[in-house]
Amino acid sequence: MQDRVEPPFWMQGNFAPVTEEVTAFDLPVEGAIPPELSGLYVRNGANPRHGQSSHWFLGDGMLHGVAIEGGKAQWYRNRYVRTPIFEGAPRHPLAGLDIRYALSNTSVIAHASRIMALVENALPMEISRELETRGFNDFGGRLATPCTAHPKICPTTGEMHFFGYRVIPPYLTYHVADAAGALIRSVEIPVKAATMIHDFALTARHAIFMDLPVVFDMPTAMAGSTMPFHWSESYGARLGVLPRGGGSESLRWIDIEPCFVYHVANAFEEDDGTIVLDVARYDEHWRDGPKRNAFDTASLTRWRIPPGATRAEETRIDDRSIEFPRIDERRIGVPHKAVYALATDGSLADGVFTELLKYDLTSGRVDARRFDGELPSEFTMVPAAEAAGEDEGWLMGYVYDRASATSDLVILDAGDIGGKPVARIRLPVRVPQGFHGTWIASEPRACGAAAR
């Protein structure tokens, strides 16, 4: 008799997928939803439609949304993103070279009256406010590379800055879409080889790219068994600093210690021109390739690049294992005080997330909310008003209750994350652990437009 093989962590507990698409109206609420909130909270994640996926990152995309208006939770919906893969396109090792062959399972962004589901190896997929799939957005045929799952919208110009990386040349291309959603710039960023590049940073004057030693692995890609990347001892690590509006000739490279980063909290420039980046930094990642029941750990780390420097200064802000760092997105590219992140007691595979942390980077204080008997997903910061202070508002995120096997959308006071939830919206189904979400505020009624 063969020994039973333990399922990978992404197919167990609250990582395991749900199979039914559900719509529910007039959701019960514990506490009181702030009347200022009017819009849609939506989060993306990997949710295999059939059987197991070969890695946590490779399940079909499923959106989970709650619409809020007038102090009420109007509806909950979960919907698969209708990608070519979902609709039955044949899977084969080289299909990933097609930027319309996608899972669209990582994040959601709203820009220029479009809502888009994103994954880093394909075009954005436009969705409706009701979470129905509309089709790929290739910016009128002008976008010829994938789009990162982590675009940055400049709060000053309204431009959307993003990049696409590929495993064939050009390996990395930087793009800018104007406030109306038209693609206005594309610049090739010269890198040495194909590497995994999940995120980047934006300041008021620069875009910063991370060229890190998790490299593409063709044999693994051809086998089609898991994520085709692994750690390289020889590749090195550096940051590419490009002036906004500049061409590749103005790019400069800054050396850093070898590491890997999925997520940047934010970046900004000090008065003397020093560039500062706060990131969730892994000392190494996938040294032996992706594993079924292990995931490396990251810590909140700051890089500083003084004017004229060729190597970044590095400071570990905290030793705790964290991921999904978020800020008030009105602070993208400018100095920030608060970073919110989820913490684990071990790795994702061992302990999943146990705490929500709030880092006050001015005072050094760290506030924590412990989730005993519950599993939180990423929280999104929603300002109370456009002119509100940086931590005046609410944090929203899905939380799973182990005892009842149900999930809630939990709303916390961003200024008191350890206090009683402002509201807990009861959901009719379990929401699996997922990736990234966003708050999409309703447009003023006078505009007669759909929610952005």
Binding residues for Fe cation: 150, 198, 263, 436
Tokens of 69: 């208006």
Walk across the sheet containing 206-211 and list its strands. Answer: 201-202, 206-211, 238-243, 252-255
Peptide bond before residue 258 is cis, with ω within 30 degrees of 0: no
Neighbours of 82 (CB within 10 A): 17
Q: Transcribe 163-186 into DSSP letters.
A: EEE-SSSS-EEEEEE-TTS-EEEE
Tokens of 412: 């916390």
Q: Are residues 356 and 340 in contact, defined by beta-carbon separation less than 8 angstroms? A: yes
E runs forming strands in 333-415: 338-344, 353-360, 366-370, 374-376, 380-383, 393-401, 406-413
What sections of 113-248 are H helices per DSSP?
Answer: 218-223
| Feature table: binding site | 150, 198, 263, 436
Q: Are residues 55 and 295 in contact, defined by beta-carbon separation less than 8 angstroms? A: no
257 to 112, 212, 238, 289, 309: CA distances (angstroms): 38, 10, 8, 20, 14
Residue among 424, 359, 360, 367 at smallest CA distance from 397: 424
Buried b (16+ CB within 10 A) or exposed e, 298-317: bbbbbbebeeeeeebeeeeb
Q: Are residues 298 and 286 in contact, defined by beta-carbon separation less than 8 angstroms? A: no
| Alpha carbons within 13 A on the beta-carbon side of 310 | 0
In the chain, the largest separation of any two C-alpha atoms, in whole Å, equals 69
Residue among 256, 296, 252 at smallest CA distance from 277: 256
Walk across the sheet containing 260-269 and list its strands. Answer: 260-269, 275-282, 298-305, 313-316
Residue among 250, 255, 262 at smallest CA distance from 187: 250
